[in-house]
Amino acid sequence: MARLENLHPTLKNLCDEYLFARGDSDHGRIVTRLSSWLDEHPIALDELQEEALAEQDESYARNQLYLCPETGVVLYLMVWRPGQGSPAHDHGGAWGVVRCLGGTLTVTEYEIVKDAPESGRATLRELPRVELEPGSTGTTCRPGHEIHSIFNTGTQTAYSLHVYSREITAYRAFDLDNDTFEIQQCH
Ligand SMILES: [Fe+2]
């Protein structure tokens, strides 16, 4: 699956676009550039390989499409059954762009009101929710806006393409009721 020759041509071109964009020291500008690029180069679900669309029973599916050995940028196709989602979390410092390819996803961003990393405590404030429909691109994890949740609140399976600056090895998962967080390791 994660081989360049198997990758959709538009996604290969996206990796090339990042090769040009990555020299920018302003990561927010890179996120905006890739987001606009995806808007101009749409990808249809039926153009992707069947394995990319695989679902999971226990949680949303995170199907890796490609990890660029040169830049470290990584592409995932995530599949969300109705009700599946990812509660409030950050990306451990990696930026990200998400494009909805099917279904509807509800994205909620949070801002930090109080942060005490050494004690595992953080107080978040919820910001207005955004509905991502097919063909809309969101900057779910741009500098200054790192914390978010994503849920499929619709009635149909949802599909989204995610572009991350690098593989996420550890991230913070927030407990909004208790104003705490835990560091989670990715396997
Ligand atoms: Fe995320």
Question: Which pLDDT score, from 0 to 100, does residue 2 have?
Answer: 64
Question: Which pLDDT score, from 0 to 100, does residue 123 have?
Answer: 97
Ligand 1 centroid vs 162 CA: distance in angstroms?
9
Question: Which pLDDT score, from 0 to 100, does residue 109 have?
Answer: 95
| Type of residue at 94 | A
Task: Check if the beta carbon of residue 52 is closer than 8 Å to that of residue 31.
Answer: no
Ligand 1 centroid vs 176 CA: distance in angstroms?
16
Tens digit of pLDDT per residue, the chain (187 long)? 567 778 999 999 999 999 999 999 999 999 999 999 999 999 999 999 999 999 999 999 999 999 999 999 999 999 999 999 999 999 999 999 999 999 999 999 999 999 999 999 999 999 999 999 999 988 778 888 899 999 999 999 999 999 999 999 999 999 999 999 999 998 6
Question: Which pLDDT score, from 0 to 100, does residue 120 have?
Answer: 96
Contacts of 149 (CB under 8 A, 6+ apart): 85, 86, 87, 88, 89, 107, 108, 110
CATH number of domain containing 148: 2.60.120.10
- The pTM (predicted TM-score) of the whole model is 0.93
Ligand 1 centroid vs 145 CA: distance in angstroms?
11
Task: Check if the beta carbon of residue 74 is closer than 8 Å to that of residue 68.
Answer: yes
Ligand 1 centroid vs 68 CA: distance in angstroms?
19
Ligand 1 centroid vs 110 CA: distance in angstroms?
12
- Residue 54 C-alpha from the chain's centroid: 17
Ligand 1 centroid vs 91 CA: distance in angstroms?
6
Q: E-strand spans in 51-178?
A: 61-67, 74-80, 85-89, 96-102, 105-116, 121-126, 130-132, 137-141, 147-151, 158-164, 170-175
Please report how many Cα atoms fall inside a 13 Å half-sphere around the Cα of residue 51, on the Cβ side.
10
Ligand 1 centroid vs 10 CA: distance in angstroms?
23
Q: How far apart are CA 30 and CA 97, in angstroms?
A: 10
Torsion angle of the four alpha carbons 156, 187, 10, 91, in this order, in degrees rounded to the nearest 10? 80
Q: Which range of residues forms the domain containing residue 143?
A: 4-185
Task: Check if the beta carbon of residue 1 is closer than 8 Å to that of residue 65.
Answer: yes
Ligand 1 centroid vs 3 CA: distance in angstroms?
23
Q: What are phi and psi of 4, to 5 degrees?
A: -60, -40
Task: Check if the beta carbon of residue 121 is closer than 8 Å to that of residue 114.
Answer: yes
Ligand 1 centroid vs 69 CA: distance in angstroms?
22
Ligand 1 centroid vs 173 CA: distance in angstroms?
10
Ligand 1 centroid vs 164 CA: distance in angstroms?
9
Q: How many domains does the chain have?
A: 1
What strands lie across the sheet with 137-141, from one edge to the other?
A: 61-67, 74-80, 158-164, 96-102, 137-141
